[in-house]
Amino acid sequence: MTDITSNITCIIEEMDLTKLSKTELLEKCEELGIKKCKSKNKGELIELINQKQTTTQTIPLKKIELIIEDEDNQLDTPIKSTPLEIKYIDLFCGLGAFHTAFDFISNSHIKYNCVFACDIDDNVRKIYKANHKIDPVGDINNVDIDKMTDFDILCGGFPCQPFSIAGKKEGFDDKIKGNLFFSILKIIDIKNPNTIILENVKNLLTINNGDTFKTIKSELEKRGYFISHKILDSKYYNSPQSRHRLFIIGNKQKQFIFPTEIKNNIIPVSSIIDNTETRFLDYTDKYKLEKCNDNENKNNCKMLYKLVHKITNNGGRQGERVYSINHCGPTICASSGGPGAKTGLYYIDNKVRRLNAIEGIGMFGFDNNYVWDEFVKEEDMLFYLGNSIVVDVLKIILKSLELQYFIA
């Protein structure tokens, strides 16, 4: 394991140079025999002094950033340094939500490097490689853990079907998918990463009267992790989708504090609408459109209408609800059916339609140039999206994790 709180060699001056005026820094340069420096600003002078006369000291990792106050204004000249590399692995990687979020928060001080990814689905691996330039391996149970590169962070949105409301809720009784958590533990036992980030459906907390989650938490705590968990709704984290998911974060040093929800800035579905889409639903032969009342709206998703069968007068099931694009949208599901299968239906330009795959990509916060259509059909892509994690949520979690663990 590479220790992300490991000591780094940092060049420091015994005196706090940032508190000196430019005149005093010039006098210091003269003492050290540094010439041709009168035209330099304070940041450049400090760098010259550090290069000339330094003492090397080992200190815990800190935020490598320096704001220098000039006599008249603030300069944002950072001291040059080699970026810290933090390595992570992406288990059950899917479309690469973790990878996309890590790439987004990487900066000149900290670079996040994916050293391993895996997914059992052939098409998903092709899509992941095309977008992230890493070729994931297949079945996690066939991985030679000893040969894996050491890493700092383990990420995994382990399969949710054994725990989900839409699934059979078999939990660990699902002999294959339910036990993949123990495959994660095998990797942890051998590689001992500093931090783990797991994601699953919110139902994981309550299945088997809570015993399944208690087992997960207990097994991680036995291995020395401080465990935090919380159900997050993506609509409060810059996403146009309302998606409740459980996040479990473990760290060897201290408990993670989840970032605060942003409740006063709900992003509407209109922000990701593809105005070139022309495939609207022709429902008039089978359904009629019935207006909804406010009591039928949930999670700030504004349901305008529901499709009702003309013969049975039944309707309004998950795939028969028609939402406004001026509010957040409902959860995109891999397994839902009906006319609005997977994405839900929306009222756009006085017509009704599902979201297309491009819009689905936007609902999860992936880049507009995300590559997929050369590998799978649209319906398959919507299925994969239904099993994904919202990138917007991960961006905020990972940035908060960085501030708490890596540069605090």
pLDDT at 7: 32
Is residue 2 situated within a structural domain? no
pLDDT at 97: 98
pLDDT at 408: 58
- Same structural domain, 139 and 240: yes
Is residue 141 situated within a structural domain? yes
Is residue 395 situated within a structural domain? yes
- Same structural domain, 225 and 109: yes
Instruction: Provide the domain count of the chain.
Output: 3
Dihedral sign of CA atoms 100, 105, 107, 113 in order: negative
Q: What CATH number is given to the structural domain containing 248?
A: 3.40.50.150
pLDDT at 215: 92
Residues in the chain with pLDDT values less than 70: 1-16, 19, 31-33, 52-81, 160-178, 295-299, 408
- Same structural domain, 237 and 143: yes
pTM here is: 0.77
- Same structural domain, 315 and 326: yes
pLDDT at 375: 98
Is residue 1 situated within a structural domain? no
Could you tell me which residues are beta bridge partners of residue 7? 60
pLDDT at 19: 67
- Same structural domain, 34 and 153: no
- Same structural domain, 256 and 393: yes
d(CA 186, CA 335): 30
Q: Is 160 an active-site residue?
A: yes
Among 171, 169, 136, 129, which Cα is nearest to 155's? 136
- Same structural domain, 324 and 286: yes
Residue finishing a domain among 75, 92, 115: 75
pLDDT at 73: 43
367 lies in which domain range?
A: 269-386
- Same structural domain, 254 and 356: no
pLDDT at 290: 93
- Same structural domain, 41 and 177: no
Active-site residue (options: 29, 114, 155, 160): 160
Residue finishing a domain among 47, 75, 103: 75
Is residue 349 situated within a structural domain? yes
pLDDT at 378: 97
